[in-house]
Structure 1
Amino acid sequence: MKKIIHTSEAPEAIGPYSQAVVYNGIVHCSGQIGLEPETMEYAGEDVESQAKQVMQNLEAVLKKAGSDFSKVIKCSIYLDQMDDFGTVNEIYGNYFGENPPARETVAVDTLPKNAKVEISCVAYV
């Protein structure tokens, strides 16, 4: 059975999607951008501030779903410019231990609300 995940500890969806969906013990987290849940404003204009907020948002969604970063099996990272790869990679790496999940990182033309970074993930409960 499909279970919809919603937490006020992460930003409200800005479109017709759920923060996450759990199905057969797998958590499919929608992409998060660097919006603060309380204000729906960016944590900062720089990629570092936004990346840190993205990871906090994902952590909140995973927690609500009964999971955490140790159970993440796949991530997708989208950057508005590949020059930010090193900064985002360092922040992202702080959330994963010795056996990090599979991942791809791509640069795209534009992200929702002109974000600098968006990250989604798949985990198990």
Structure 2
Amino acid sequence: MVRPIATDDAPAAVGAYSQATTNEELVFTAGQIPANPDGEVLADTPIADQTERALDNVQAVLAAEGLEMSDVLKTTVLLDDIENFEAMNEVYATYFDENPPARSAFEAAALPKGVGVEIEAIAANE
């Protein structure tokens, strides 16, 4: 059985998707962009700030299920410019200091709302 997860501590889903879903064993977050919980998009800020906000959103969605970043098994990072990888990675590493999850990172031609980064996660719900 799939159950949606929602929190007011991250931007609301604005389409036909959930902030996250779970089958009670795994949690899959939607891609989180650098937007405040009220929906204000931070597209014109440095990639480090955008990465921090996106990861804060991932963290908030996981917290709604009682999970922490240490429960994350895999992330996918989308960047509008792969040249921003190093700056993104510096911030990213502060969220996953011990036993970091598996990760894929890609350059995408365009991301929602003109942002520079989008991050999704898969976490264990044990």
TM-score range, shorter chain: over 0.9
User: Counterparts in 2 of 1:66-105, with a 5 A limit?
Assistant: 66-105=66-105
Residue ranges of structure 2 left out of the alignment (5+ in a row): none
Q: Does structure 2 retain, via aligned residues, the 8 Å contact 1:43–1:53?
A: no
Mapped pair 1:57 → 2:49: no
The Cα of 1:103 is off from its aligned counterpart by: 0.5
Q: Secondary structure at the match of 2:9?
A: coil
Task: Count how many residue pairs are aligned between Structure 1 and Structure 2.
Answer: 125
Q: Secondary structure at the match of 1:31?
A: coil
Question: Partners of 2:74 and 2:112 in 1: how far apart?
Answer: 21
1:89-108 CA-partner distances (Å, limit 9, x unpaired): 01011011231110110001
Question: After the TM superposition, which of the residue ranges 9-18 and 77-86 deviates more from structure 2?
Answer: 9-18
Q: What's the RMSD between the two structures over aligned residues?
A: 1.3
Q: Does structure 2 retain, via aligned residues, the 8 Å contact 1:32–1:54?
A: yes
Question: After the TM superposition, which of the residue ranges 69-78 and 22-31 deviates more from structure 2?
Answer: 22-31
Question: Partners of 2:24 and 2:103 in 1: how far apart?
Answer: 22
Q: Secondary structure at the match of 1:17?
A: coil
- Specify the alignment match of 1:25 in structure 2: 25
The Cα of 1:43 is off from its aligned counterpart by: 7.2
- Specify the alignment match of 1:121 in structure 2: 121
**What TM-score results when the alignment is normalised by the length of structure 1?**
0.94
- Specify the alignment match of 1:3 in structure 2: 3
Residue ranges of structure 1 left out of the alignment (5+ in a row): none
Runs of 4+ aligned structure 1 residues displaced above 4 Å come to none
Q: Does structure 2 retain, via aligned residues, the 8 Å contact 1:43–1:49?
A: no
Question: Partners of 1:33 and 1:39 in 2: how far apart?
Answer: 10
Question: Partners of 1:114 and 1:43 in 2: how far apart?
Answer: 6
Q: Secondary structure at the match of 2:4?
A: strand
Q: Does structure 2 retain, via aligned residues, the 8 Å contact 1:73–1:101?
A: yes
The Cα of 1:2 is off from its aligned counterpart by: 1.6
